Amino acid sequence: MVTTATAAVVHEPQGTFTLQQVELDDLRPDEVLVRNQASGICHTDLVAQRMMTLPAVMGHEGAGVVEAVGRSVQRVRPGDRVIVSYPWCGACPQCMEGKPYYCSEHMPLGFGGTRLDGSGTMKHNGSQLSGAFFQQSSFATHSITPERDVVPVRDDCAAERLAALPCGVQTGAGSILNTFRVGARDSLVVFGAGGVGLSAVMAARLVGAAPLVVVDIIPERLELALELGATHVLDARNGPVAEQISEILPQGADYTYETSGNEQALEDAIASLKTGGQCGIVIAPHFGEKYPFSPTEVFKRAACLRGIIQGSSVPNTFLPRLLELNRAGRFPYERLIRTYAFEDINQAVEDFNVGRAIKPVLLMS
């Protein structure tokens, strides 16, 4: 069994990644060793560096081949192709109810840097690294991950398509299909035409939502939003956004969806709701800080402001469904992907930060 891996280690918040040899811990009975073929890059990989003990190995959208399994693993075998999605404990009331996206342990499992019992999965020159990011740390050639987090998939799909799915694309599509259950002719305004926002657009088109409005400030992304199903696009630089939206939706929208993390966008998303409408947020402006916010705007619309994690998705059923829709040409998320060799991770991050890449995916092999 492999006991070493090559990992992209980050030593200071927003610092560069350095490829280093790391030593992997022994597999626990319920764990799987995955040889990563690809890993998506998501904003959480960058912002979470401030929440972690560094040095750390980030990465939470791994896809590859099972190389070894612990003795009690039953769902997969060596050689199986898998996607590794978000972690859940399997034992809390929400997990037991079939709602792993509400797992009460999701913070320590995601950001603790260790297994839930506090043990580490990776060392460098004998000293412990923060690994186990989302219980996978997929910016590495190999990941140790719990059996319950892997999603077996068919063997005929390109690795970058698998690795693009399990966080941002799942969140965007899941918010529309699972959380909101948007229906035909429901109106929707999406703020931010990045990977999450555009995945929401594709899912909303699938169910016939209309009007389907997208707000951003990058002309190429607004163009892409139109190609992927938006009925209207608005450039936030062309005047007050809520006013621009009210020309299209005088009564307001059934749903608004804020993916940009911009304070003004959140205000506009609430101000653009019709009475009884719902606003979903997948990112918070000023994470962890108080936000000057008027509850009046929510109250007078009898509106719902809803935080959404992973699009309320159960990965074992939802990811294979998205792959089937993609094969049928009905969910063309490959249009968002830009691939990079693993050793070009710093270029990928730079392109992501400046908006040149919507969904960067690292290729390990």
Q: Does 203 bind Zn ion (CB under 5 A)?
A: no
Enclosing H/E stretch for 201? helix 195-206
Question: Contact with Zn ion (CB under 5 A): which of 8, 22, 24, 42?
Answer: 42
CB 108 to Zn ion: min, Å: 11
CB atoms within 10 A of CB 68: 17
Which 322-341 residues touch Zn ion, going by CB under 5 A? none
Q: Does 44 bind Zn ion (CB under 5 A)?
A: yes
Judged by beta carbon, residue 89 or residue 273, the one nearer Zn ion is 89
139 with 17: CB under 8 angstroms?
yes
CB 307 to Zn ion: min, Å: 15
Query: 3-state class of 285 per DSSP?
Result: coil
Nearest to 337 by CA among 182, 239, 194: 194
Which 227-286 residues touch Zn ion, going by CB under 5 A? none
CB 134 to Zn ion: min, Å: 8
Question: Contact with Zn ion (CB under 5 A): which of 92, 218, 226, 242?
Answer: 92
Site string for Zn ion, 150-189 (x = CB under 5 A): -----------------x----------------------
Interior/surface letters 74-99, b for 16+ CB within 10 angstroms, e for the rest: eebeeebbbbbbbbbbeebebbeeee
| Residues whose CB is less than 8 angstroms from the CB of residue 273 and which lie 6 or more positions away in sequence, other chains included | 252, 253, 256, 279, 301, 303
Q: Is 275 exposed, middle or buried (0-12, 13-18, 19+ CB in 10 A)?
A: exposed
CB 270 to Zn ion: min, Å: 24
CB 138 to Zn ion: min, Å: 11
Q: Does 89 bind Zn ion (CB under 5 A)?
A: yes
Torsion of CA 241, 244, 249, 253, to 10 degrees: -10
Judged by beta carbon, residue 121 or residue 135, the one nearer Zn ion is 135
Sheet strand arrangement including 122-124:
56-57, 4-10, 17-24, 122-124, 127-128
Judged by beta carbon, residue 44 or residue 85, the one nearer Zn ion is 44
Contacting range for Zn ion; rule: CB under 5 A; set: 4-12, 41-49, 67-75, 312-320: 41-49
Contacting range for Zn ion; rule: CB under 5 A; set: 83-91, 107-115, 146-154, 208-216: 83-91
List contacts with Zn ion (CB under 5 A): 42, 44, 88-89, 92, 95, 103, 167
